[in-house]
Amino acid sequence: MVIVSVNESKCKGCALCVSACPKKIMKLSDKANQSGQYVAVCSDPPSCIGCKCCGIICPDDAITIEKED
């Protein structure tokens, strides 16, 4: 299983992760964070393949991907 975590205080809602995700499961949230930004979320965690494309492309280092055994 893969766990995708987005640090909402770092995410600026640039959506680069959305365009980088090969499974198209990264989306921008419908609700804003404290700064008024619509942050990234993984809409279908079981479908994540753990490729880390979203975390690599994130300019704010707001996304971490961990693989659980």
Question: pLDDT averaged over the chain?
Answer: 95
Contacts of residue 16, Cβ cutoff 8 Å, sequence gap at least 6 = 57, 58, 59
Domain ranges (residues) in the chain: 2-67
pLDDT band at 34 (very low <50, low <70, confident <90, very high): confident
Q: How far is CA 36 from CA 18, 21, 39, 40, 56, in A?
A: 19, 24, 9, 13, 24
Fold of 2-67: Alpha-Beta Plaits (3.30.70)
Enter the tokens of residue 65. 């991907």
pLDDT band at 68 (very low <50, low <70, confident <90, very high): confident
pTM of this prediction exceeds 0.75: yes
d(CA 27, CA 24): 8
Backbone angles phi and psi of 40, in degrees to 5: -75, 145
